[in-house]
């Protein structure tokens, strides 16, 4: 955690969610649950679900197209594409390569990063470093997930939570520097509390199950998040210069709204100053923060010049916060 030197800013933003809606009533027909139970425990009412032939790269490409509708020249000069995802179309080629070719960016390097629900803030951290160091001029970030393709819809503890979506952002040079502070951390000893099994059959000495679907110990993740995230947020605020400590908006990863209520209260933010995306999109992992930010912009809440704290946290266990001037 530190104050950071920055000569970069977020210059453009776009988002996308699939058309199909999965409501709580739909889930009631699939598993032993109901709307009242889900809303009380998570605050989620709907999620968006990708089509059978729609994958993470497609969502990310749609998010970039939305970004271009809002900022038509935003991709000019992009020389690096960062994709934050844990649900890539393939082990390889990477999502970033698929996005790069979709928009004809022949001079852009590509890199996928895996930090689960902290992916967007990790990518912003890296993009600021790349631009500020002058290693790159302009970075395109995409953060997308097809979580629905990794969910066991007979497991009511996970299937009620997750949805699909994507966000895109462009980070470019700015003499003023809009990135003010950053905080990163991890706790690999808690990795077995939320995972999706791959080649290995055990983790931290414990056998894995789930047949490649998401497995989560919600109680342990909750305890870790409501302790770790407020501490990180308060450290970020303490690290800011006194004339920059009036934060306008707190935008945490939208894991579920009951968890966010606890985190916001402990971090010193009211529900009115916290932006989320879970109610109608569910937990979209790396995409949840850009989706919440775009909703705040579209609703006229977030304005240029506002001070934002973005904070991602999730599987790994990973967490990452960043203070940025919008």
Which pLDDT belongs to residue 243?
Answer: 61
Query: Domain check: are 135 and 246 in the same one?
Result: no
Number of domains in the chain: 2
Tell which of 155, 176, 197 closes a domain.
176
Predicted TM-score of the model (pTM): 0.96
Q: What's 104-136 look like in SS3?
A: CCCCCEEEEECCHHHHHHHHHHHHHHHHHCCCC
For residue 38, the model assigns a pLDDT of 97
Specify burial of residue 36 (Cβ count, 10 A radius: 0-12, 13-18, 19+). exposed
211 annotated active-site: no
| pLDDT for the residue numbered 5 | 79
Domain of 307 in residue numbering reads as 180-325
253 touches 287 (CB < 8 A): no
Write down the pLDDT at residue 201. 86
Residues 157 and 260 in one domain: no
Answer yes or no: do 79 and 200 share one domain: no
Which helix (H) or strand (E) segment holds residue 289: the answer is helix 288-298
* Three-class DSSP category at 254: coil
Query: Residue 245: what pLDDT?
Result: 66
Which of 117, 125, 146, 256 is an active site residue? 117
Which H/E stretch holds residue 220? helix 218-239
Question: What is the rounded CA–CA span in Å between residue 279 and residue 254?
Answer: 9
Query: What's the confidence (pLDDT) of residue 153?
Result: 96
Both 153 and 279 in one domain: the answer is no
Summarize pLDDT for 83-102 with one digit per residue, the tens.
Answer: 999 999 999 999 999 999 99
CB–CB of 292/321 below 8 Å?
Answer: no
Q: Tell me: the pLDDT tens digits for 103-116?
A: 999 899 999 999 99
Known catalytic membership, residue 253: yes
Q: For the chain (length 326 residues), average pLDDT per consecutive 10?
A: 79 98 97 95 97 98 98 98 98 97 96 98 97 97 98 94 98 95 95 92 86 91 96 91 80 96 96 97 98 98 96 97 96
Active-site hit among 58, 253, 256, 319: 253
Domain finish residue from 123, 148, 176: 176
Read off the CATH number of the domain in which 117 is found.
Answer: 3.40.47.10
């Amino acid at each position: 955690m530190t104050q950071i030197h920055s000569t970069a800013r977020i210059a453009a933003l776009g988002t996308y969610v699939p058309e199909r809606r999965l409501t709580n009533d739909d889930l009631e027909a699939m598993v032993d649950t109901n709307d009242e139970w889900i809303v009380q425990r998570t605050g989620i009412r709907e999620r968006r679900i990708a089509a059978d032939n729609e994958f993470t790269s497609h969502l990310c490409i749609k998010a970039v197209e939305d970004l271009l509708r809002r900022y038509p020249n935003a991709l000019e000069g992009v020389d690096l594409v960062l994709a934050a995802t844990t649900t890539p179309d393939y082990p390889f080629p990477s999502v970033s390569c698929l996005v790069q070719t979709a928009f004809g960016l022949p001079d852009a390097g590509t890199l996928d990063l895996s930090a689960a629900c902290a992916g967007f803030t990790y990518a912003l951290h890296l993009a600021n470093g790349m631009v500020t160091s002058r290693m790159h001029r302009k970075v395109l970030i995409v953060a997308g997930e097809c979580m629905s393709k990794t969910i066991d819809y007979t497991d009511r503890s996970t299937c009620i939570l997750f949805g699909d979506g994507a966000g895109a952002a462009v980070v470019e040079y700015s003499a003023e520097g809009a990135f003010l502070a950053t905080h990163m951390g991890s706790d690999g000893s808690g990795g077995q509390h939320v995972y999706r099994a791959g080649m290995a059959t055990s983790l931290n000495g414990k056998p894995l199950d789930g047949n490649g679907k998401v497995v989560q110990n919600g109680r342990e993740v909750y305890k870790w998040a409501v302790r770790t995230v407020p501490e990180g947020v308060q450290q970020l605020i303490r690290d800011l210069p006194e004339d920059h400590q009036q934060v306008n908006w707190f935008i945490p990863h939208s894991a579920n709204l009951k968890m966010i209520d606890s985190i916001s209260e402990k971090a010193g933010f009211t529900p009115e100053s916290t932006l989320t995306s879970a109610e109608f999109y569910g937990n979209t992992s790396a995409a949840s923060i850009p989706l919440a930010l775009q909703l705040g912009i579209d609703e006229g809440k977030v304005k240029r010049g506002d001070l934002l704290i973005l904070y991602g946290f999730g599987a790994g266990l990973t967490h990452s916060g960043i203070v940025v001037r919008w």
